[in-house]
Chain A
Amino acid sequence: GAVVSQHPSWVICKSGTSVKIECRSLDFQATTMFWYRQFPKQSLMLMATSNEGSKATYEQGVEKDKFLINHASLTLSTLTVTSAHPEDSSFYICSAATGGTYEQYFGPGTRLTVT
């Protein structure tokens, strides 16, 4: 149980375009989903927290207009990187948590490369 999937697993896009990454909780309802970014040889850095049906809370230094997060249902959250630039190239990981516990279940990650 507690499986989280991400799609796509990797994506290459051109500078200036937008990319959408999906995060799904497959066998449980996730009241809260989290988006992380991880650069090579570094740990995960929290970008934003989203609760179903409400606006996401962004960490300091994360541009909310650039990284659009939608959490429209209890099993799906999306991260859209708008007007992507090469410096946005990174490994993006989502996690999901249920309301009753504080356990976060991580997705397998999405490798974004902006050329």
Chain B
Amino acid sequence: KNQVEQSPQSLIILEGKNCTLQCNYTVSPFSNLRWYKQDTGRGPVSLTIMTFSENTKSNGRYTATLDADTKQSSLHITASQLSDSASYICVVTLQTGANNLFFGTGTRLTVIP
């Protein structure tokens, strides 16, 4: 069964600290994996996208890693800011097309001053 699991469900960190969010998936055949940031009451915004052959991808203070062998991905946020408070969603795409997305339930990150 194609599934995407994320951990932790929620996380509270102090401003300026780093954190790492995890994503495990069983989706096959795999096409790509995306991390999205979703602010409350807003649509998801893409942070990174990685294909099978990519191990790491950075976007500013966000760095995503992918281990296609173990089917695990992580999103590392460095020097967190209050504006990083949001839900972070891992989305895995099947090879068969745009309408085959599998969403994780997300990690709710709260950055406190």
Interface set of A (CB-CB < 8 Å, partner B): 4, 6, 32, 34, 41-44, 46, 49, 91, 93, 95, 97, 101-109, 111
Given contacts A91-B41, A95-B43, A102-B97, 18 further A-B contacts (CB under 8 A): A4-B43, A32-B99, A43-B105, A44-B89, A46-B101, A49-B99, A93-B43, A101-B98, A102-B98, A103-B98, A104-B98, A104-B101, A106-B43, A107-B43, A108-B43, A109-B41, A109-B42, A111-B41
- Report the bound CA distance from A42 to B108 in whole Å: 10
Closest to B104 in A: A43
Closest residue of chain B to A9 (Cβ to Cβ) is B41
List of A residues within 8 angstroms of B36 by Cβ: 106
Query: Are A106 and B45 in touch, CB under 8 angstroms?
Result: yes
Contact A34 B99 (CB under 8 A): yes
Question: Are the CB atoms of B106 and A43 closer together than 8 Å?
Answer: yes
With the chains together, A49 CA to B96 CA distance in Å? 15
Nearest first, the 7 A-B pairs at minimum CB distance are A106-B43, A102-B98, A97-B98, A43-B103, A109-B43, A108-B43, A43-B105
Q: Give the complex CA separation of A41 and B49 in angstroms.
A: 24
B26 CB-CB contact with A under 8 Å: no
Contacting residue for B105 out of A4, A32, A42, A103, CB 8 A: A42
Contacting pair B41 A32 (CB below 8 A)? no
Q: How far is it, in angstroms, between the C-alpha of A4 and the C-alpha of B42 when the chains are bound?
A: 12
In the assembled complex, the Cα of A106 lies from the Cα of B89 at a distance in Å of 13
B74 within 8 A of A: no
Task: Tell whether B31 is near chain A: CB-to-CB under 8 Å.
Answer: yes
Q: How far is the CA of A4 from the CA of B46 in the complex (A)?
A: 13
Q: Report chain B residues within 8 Å CB of A101.
A: 98
Most B Cβ at <10 Å: residue of A4, A104, A109, A111: A104
Contact with A along B69-113 (1 / 0, CB 8 A): 000000000000000000001000100011101011110100000
B8 within 8 A of A: no
Which chain B positions have C-beta within 8 A of A109? 41-43
